Chains A and B, each alone.
Chain A
Amino acid sequence: MTKVFDSGNVACALAVKDVGVDFVAAYPITPQTSVVEKIASYIAEGEMDAKYLPVESEHSALSAVAAASAVGARVFTATSSQGLLYMHEILHYAAGGRLPIVMANVNRAINMPWCLYVDHQDAVSQRDTGWIQLFAASNQEIYDSVILAYKVAEEVQIPVMVNYDGFLVSHSSMPFETLEQDKIREFLPALNPPWRLHPQWGGTFGNVTPSEEYVPYRYALTEDIKKAGDVIVRCSKEYERLTGRWHGGHFETYRPEGAEYFLFSMGSMGKEMEIAVDLLREQGIAAAGLRLRIFSPFPEEELAALLPTGAKLLVFDRNLVYGSAGGALLQLAKAALFNRRDSLQVIGISLGLGGEDLPASVLVAKAREMMEVCK
C-alpha cells in the first residue's frame, strides 16, 4: 500500500495500471485528458505491460476496446461529455455484446452552448444503453471503484462506467491509498472469458438475429444488470475485508439516525451535502445525506427499504429531464417509491449545471426551500 497525494485522474490511471489492463484506446477531451496521458506515459516507460491505441475519435476508442475485449483482453478507455455522446452507438454494442469493458467518464456538461465544467447530463443521457454506472465522489473512491468495476464487469459480463465530476474531483489533489499487487490478484483473478474472438474458439459474434432469438438476449441483459446491484455490494464488502476501505453499498448514508429529511444526490455534491447536513442538524433539522453510488441499475427496492416511515426525500439533480420538474434522480426515485412507499413525500430540483458552484450554504438554502414545500 502506497499513500499518494494526487488528482482524481491520476487515481484513475493508477488503478488502471494496478489491475493489469492489457489494452487502452482513447481520444483526448477535457477534463479526461490527464487520465489517458498518464496511462500513455506508464506504458511508454514500461511501468505497464499494455498496448495503447491513439485513435482518431471516441467512436473509434470504444470500437477499439470493444473489439479488444472480444479477443479476451482486459481493456480500458476514458472520456467526457461530447465524447461519451459520440460513443453512443458503441455503448449499446458493448452492453449487448456483454463485453466486460471498464470506462471512466469524467462528468462534464454537454453543448449547446459549449461548457467545460461538471454536470451529469452526459452520463444520465446514456442511462438506457445497458451499462452499469457507478458514481465516485473522492479520489480514493475513484481508485477503489475502478478495481471494483473490473471485478463486477468480468463477473456479470456487462460493461461498467465509472463516473466522477470533472475538475472538482478529476483535477483536485487528495490523499489516497493504492493496493498491493498480491491483494489485487486475490480480489481480481486473471480475465478468462468463456468465449473469445479467436480461431481456437471459432464462431461469429453478433450476426443478424431473428426475433425469437433476439428477445432472450435483451431480457438476459436487463435481468443481469438488475442483479448486478447486489453483485456490486457483495464485491464492495469483499474489497472492504481486504483493504478496510468502504464507500457505501448502493448508497452512502450520512447521519441517518432519526432523520426525517433525506438529501439525495450523486457525485461530489453528495460529499458537500455532508457539510449541509451538519449545518441543518445545527439548526435543529433532522436531515441526513444520501449519496447514490450506483446510478444504473438504479437501486429501487433498496431505496424503498432504506427510508423510514414519514421520511421526506429531497432530490438534488445535477442534470435535467427537459420539461420536467427536477432531473433523472427525481424520476427514478419517484418510480422506485410509487406503489412501494406511497406515503412518502418526494420533491426535487435541478441545480449545479455547467459547473455552477454548490457550496454547502447553497445546498442548505435549497433544502430549506424544499422543506417549505413539503409542509
Chain B
Amino acid sequence: MNIKELPEIEYIIPGTGACAGCPSTIGLRLVGKALGENAICLLTPSCAVASMGMTPKTCYSFPALNICFASAGASGGAISMALDPLYSKKRLEGEKPVVFAWVGDGGTYDIGFQGLSAAAERNDDFIFFCYNNEAYSNTGNQRSGATPQYVPTTTSPLGKEMLQKNVPLLMLEHRPPYVATASLAYPLDLYRKVEKAKSIKGFRYIEIHMPCCTSWKFPAAETIEVSRLAIRTGSWLLWEAENGKLSLNGVTAALAEGKRKPLPVEEYLKAQGRYAWLLKSPDKDYYIGNIENNIRRELEFMAGRAKL
C-alpha cells in the first residue's frame, strides 16, 4: 500500500470547527480510509465533538452518536451487540457496519476508564480509538492521566509531578485480540493497523499520538514534525499486539534493538512551548535525565514484553 492507493473515502468534510493544524481530523481521515463507509461512530465530549459543527450541521460524513463522557465503553459494545438481532431478525439487511469509538485521552484514561476496561474484559465487538493529545485540550488544556511528567497545564501550573499512565499496555493486559499504538507521522503504519483491526472480531484498541499545537504550544504547521520527533526520541512507542503477542514496529523496533540511536529528547522538548520552562530551568539536566531514564525504561519494558 502506498499513499496513492489509499481509498478515496473522506470522513471529514471541509470547513470543520477544529483548530488549524488539528491532528484529530487528520487521524479521522486516515481511519476512515481504512474503515470505509459502512461504519458507525461513537463520540464522547472532546475536541472532535466541539469542532464537528453545531446542530443541524456536521462535518463528519459517518453516522455518529454523541454519548456521555463516561459511556463509550458500554455504548460501543451495545451498538455492535444490538445490531446482531436486528440483522438476524431481518429488520436490517446487508453487511453489519463496523462500530468504532473516537475518544480523547480524558474519555479514555480518566472518566471513561471503567467502562473501557469492562468492554475490553467482555471482549465487546468494536474498535476503541483513543486520540491522545495528552490533556483536556477541548476545555482549554487541563491535566489528564495522559499528561506527561513536567508538563504545565492550567490545572498543573507548576508542571505535572507524576508520569502518565500506560493505558495501551493496560488494555493489552485485558487480553483483547488486538491492541496497537500509532502515530500520524507514520500514516501507512496507522492505516495498516486500522485495516488489521477491522479484520478482527472482538475488542480492539488503537491509541494514536496526537500532538496538539494549541495545548502543546507549537506552530500549527509542525503537527506532523512533532509527531515524528516523539517517535524518533522514543517519547512515543509504536507497537501492536495480536492475541497478546506484542511486536514493536518501525523506528521503535530499531531503537529497542539498538539498530538506531534515539534522538536526544531535547529535540522533542524544544519543539514545544509547554516545555519551555524546563529548558530554561537551572535544573534542566536533572529533568532531562529523568525523562531520558523513563524513555529507556519504557523501551526496555516493552521490548521485554515483546519477548513473551
- Answer yes or no: A and B touching, Cβ < 8 Å: yes
Q: In this assembly, does A224 line the interface, its C-beta being within 8 Å of a C-beta of chain B? A: no
Give the distance in Å from the alpha carbon of A51 to the alpha carbon of B54 in the complex. Answer: 34
Q: Across the interface, do A203 and B78 meet the contact criterion of CB distance under 8 Å?
A: no
Q: Across the interface, do B82 and A198 meet the contact criterion of CB distance under 8 Å?
A: no
Checking B37, B55, B92, B122 against A53 with a beta-carbon cut-off of 8 angstroms, the contacting residue is: B122
Q: Across the interface, do A53 and B77 meet the contact criterion of CB distance under 8 Å?
A: yes
Q: How many of B's residues come within 8 Å of A, CB to CB?
A: 50
Q: Across the interface, do A59 and B37 meet the contact criterion of CB distance under 8 Å?
A: no
Q: Across the interface, do B114 and A57 meet the contact criterion of CB distance under 8 Å?
A: yes
- B115 — which chain A residues lie within 8 A by C-beta? 55-57, 59-60, 63
Q: Across the interface, do A93 and B67 meet the contact criterion of CB distance under 8 Å?
A: yes
- B83 — which chain A residues lie within 8 A by C-beta? 71, 73
Q: How many of A's residues come within 8 Å of B, CB to CB?
A: 45
Q: Across the interface, do B66 and A89 meet the contact criterion of CB distance under 8 Å?
A: no
Q: In this assembly, does B304 line the interface, its C-beta being within 8 Å of a C-beta of chain A? A: no
- A65 — which chain B residues lie within 8 A by C-beta? 78
CB distance from A129 to the nearest CB of B (A): 13
Q: In this assembly, does B162 line the interface, its C-beta being within 8 Å of a C-beta of chain A? A: no
Q: Dominant SS at the B interface?
A: mixed
Give the distance in Å from the alpha carbon of A199 to the alpha carbon of B37 in the complex. Answer: 7
- A190 — which chain B residues lie within 8 A by C-beta? 91
Interface locus among A28-36, A206-214, A305-313, A323-331: A206-214
Interface of chain A residues 170 through 227 with chain B (CB within 8 A) = 190, 197-210, 213-214
**Known contacts A63-B115, A72-B86: does B91 contact A204 (CB below 8 Å)?**
no
Q: Across the interface, do B40 and A210 meet the contact criterion of CB distance under 8 Å?
A: no
**Known contacts A57-B115, A63-B67: does B78 contact A23 (CB below 8 Å)?**
yes
Q: Which residue of the partner chain A has the closest CB to B66?
A: A206
- B64 — which chain A residues lie within 8 A by C-beta? 197, 204-205
Q: In this assembly, does B299 line the interface, its C-beta being within 8 Å of a C-beta of chain A? A: no
- B73 — which chain A residues lie within 8 A by C-beta? 60
Q: Across the interface, do A67 and B82 meet the contact criterion of CB distance under 8 Å?
A: yes
Q: In this assembly, does B71 line the interface, its C-beta being within 8 Å of a C-beta of chain A? A: yes
Interface of chain B residues 80 through 133 with chain A (CB within 8 A) = 81-86, 88-89, 91-92, 94, 97, 114-115, 117-118, 122, 124
Checking A90, A207, A213 against B66 with a beta-carbon cut-off of 8 angstroms, the contacting residue is: A207
Q: In this assembly, does B214 line the interface, its C-beta being within 8 Å of a C-beta of chain A? A: no
Q: Across the interface, do B55 and A210 meet the contact criterion of CB distance under 8 Å?
A: yes
- B53 — which chain A residues lie within 8 A by C-beta? 207
Q: In this assembly, does B19 line the interface, its C-beta being within 8 Å of a C-beta of chain A? A: no
- B114 — which chain A residues lie within 8 A by C-beta? 56-57, 60
Q: In this assembly, does B56 line the interface, its C-beta being within 8 Å of a C-beta of chain A? A: yes
Give the distance in Å from the alpha carbon of A59 to the alpha carbon of B70 in the complex. Answer: 8
Give the distance in Å from the alpha carbon of A55 to the alpha carbon of B119 in the complex. Answer: 8
Q: Which residue of the partner chain A has the closest CB to B74?
A: A60
Give the distance in Å from the alpha carbon of A236 to the alpha carbon of B42 in the complex. Answer: 37
CB distance from A220 to the nearest CB of B (A): 13
Q: Across the interface, do B92 and A67 meet the contact criterion of CB distance under 8 Å?
A: no
| B31-65 contact mask (Cβ, 8 Å, vs A): 1 or 0 | 00000011110110000011011111110101111
Identify 19 new A-B residue pairs, CB closer than 8 A, beyond the known A51-B85, A90-B68: A22-B85, A23-B85, A53-B81, A53-B122, A59-B115, A63-B78, A66-B67, A67-B82, A68-B81, A68-B82, A72-B91, A199-B97, A203-B63, A204-B60, A205-B63, A206-B65, A207-B49, A207-B55, A208-B52
Interface pairs A-B: 3 shortest CB-CB: A60-B74, A68-B82, A63-B71
